[in-house]
């Protein structure tokens, strides 16, 4: 099959899929879940920090599964292959559209599809994937589809508690793109009768990517870090990558036609509190390193763009998730302990 992709300028709107829902739709999803009890084939589009951890957890806990994933560099490809992941190079360039035919065998073989692509390049690629998958619908084996979004779609809620019913109010281009992707993938999943999940992730941290690691870096903060510092005194949603992985994998055995879940821990503490705790952990364990820690400058409170406290009750009640790291304290302690092991 050859699929001619439209140019970026022509792809201004998401495809609008007719919804083929009927009383038997939930039976389709239930059958998909039953099939997932046996080893399947997971395809991860965008195998970064979260995608890699999900793949590793699946291969470790569920022997027989096959995992393939896309990445953007030969170095990342070799790293993923060393973990037992069938890694493929794939990148969508702004100036030159890349055809999706290279992904055709992977998409046809996959029983489960995890989309973890940043919104900067992801929106255009998502639209092309919709067209491609719809065209190949008759030959697909897909049972389950999941898109990783962000709690940023809620916007600034002035510190209020928000759950999945809270009105979204994305204010940044990134948040707007993520919300558009949420709607697009939900409609697409309903169109095909797939078990479909949208996961709104809090700030992601884990080994190699935490307040501890930031403090130990001997270089200037990136622009993204400086922007995050402007929210030091405000509630912030976060979640350990291990808890993201267990939540995603839990959904495979609980089919649903289009469900949204907040994926966060129980403690929406301000960043200033988190970094103070991280500094204290390092100082007590490695006192000789105290003078070498990065001194983060607390930001201007007027720059706050998205304060909220995000509820995870639906995640716990419906997916049966028991957080491994319910607070940043247990998460950071675990990361610190791993340095000595």
Residues 199 and 293 in one domain: no
CA angle 147, 149, 152 (to 5 degrees): 170
Could you tell me if 77 and 175 lie in one domain? Answer: yes
CB-CB contact of 121 with 94 (8 Å): yes
User: Does residue 169 belong to any structural domain of this protein?
Assistant: yes
Q: What is the pTM of this model?
A: 0.84
Judge whether 11 lies within some domain.
no
CB 146 within 8 A of CB 252: no
For residue 6, tell me if it sits in a domain. Answer: no
At 340 the pLDDT is 81
The answer to whether residue 113 sits within a structural domain is yes
The count of other CB atoms within 10 Å of the CB of residue 152 is 25
Q: Are residues 135 and 67 in the same domain?
A: yes
pLDDT mean for each 10 residues of the chain (341 residues)? 34 51 42 57 96 97 95 95 94 55 85 87 64 71 95 90 95 90 90 94 97 80 51 82 98 93 96 93 88 60 63 98 98 94 64
- Answer yes or no: do 129 and 229 share one domain: no
Does 80 reside within a domain? yes
Residue 92 domain boundaries? 20-152+163-204+240-263
- Total domains in the chain come to 2
Do residue 224 and residue 329 come from a single domain? Answer: yes
Whether 171 and 219 share a structural domain: no
Which pLDDT value is given to residue 302?
Answer: 35
1 located within any domain: no
Q: Which of 92, 89, 188, 175 is nearest to 133 (CA)?
A: 188
Instruction: Name the maximum alpha-carbon separation found in the chain.
Output: 66
Establish if 183 belongs to a structural domain: yes
Identify whether residues 185 and 215 lie together within a single domain: no
Residues 92 and 38 in one domain: yes
Residue 129 shares a structural domain with residue 200: yes
How far is it, in rounded angstroms, from Cα 41 to Cα 51? Answer: 14
């Amino acid at each position: 099959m050859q699929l001619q992709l439209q140019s970026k300028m022509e792809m201004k709107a998401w495809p609008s899929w007719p919804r083929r829902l009927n009383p038997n739709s939930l039976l389709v999803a239930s059958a998909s879940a039953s099939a997932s009890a046996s080893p399947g084939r997971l395809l991860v589009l965008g195998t970064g920090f979260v995608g890699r951890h999900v793949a590793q957890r699946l291969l470790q806990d569920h022997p027989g599964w096959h995992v393939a994933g896309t990445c953007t560099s030969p170095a990342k490809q070799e790293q993923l292959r060393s973990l037992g992941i069938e890694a493929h190079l794939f990148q969508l360039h702004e100036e030159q559209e890349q055809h999706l035919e290279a992904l055709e065998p992977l998409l046809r073989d996959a029983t489960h599809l995890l989309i973890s692509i940043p919104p900067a390049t992801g929106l255009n690629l998502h639209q092309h994937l919709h067209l491609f998958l719809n065209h190949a619908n008759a030959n697909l084996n897909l049972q389950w589809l999941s898109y990783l979004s962000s709690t940023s779609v809620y916007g600034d809620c002035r510190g209020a508690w928000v759950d999945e019913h809270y009105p979204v109010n994305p204010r940044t281009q990134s948040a707007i793109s993520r919300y558009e992707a949420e709607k697009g993938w939900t409609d697409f999943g309903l169109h095909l009768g797939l078990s479909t999940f949208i996961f709104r992730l809090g700030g992601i941290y884990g080994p190699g990517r935490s307040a501890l690691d930031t403090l130990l870096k001997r270089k200037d903060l990136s622009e993204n870090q400086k922007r995050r510092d402007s929210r030091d005194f405000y509630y912030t949603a976060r979640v350990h990558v291990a808890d993201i992985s267990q939540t995603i994998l839990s959904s495979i055995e609980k089919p649903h036609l289009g469900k949204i879940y907040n994926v966060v821990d129980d403690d929406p503490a301000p960043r200033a509190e988190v970094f103070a705790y991280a500094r204290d952990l390092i100082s007590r364990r490695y006192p000789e390193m105290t003078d070498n820690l990065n001194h983060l400058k607390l930001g201007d409170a007027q720059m706050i763009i998205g304060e909220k406290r995000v509820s995870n009750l639906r995640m716990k009640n419906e997916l049966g998730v028991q957080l491994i790291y319910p607070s940043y304290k247990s998460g950071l302690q675990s990361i610190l302990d791993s340095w000595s092991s």
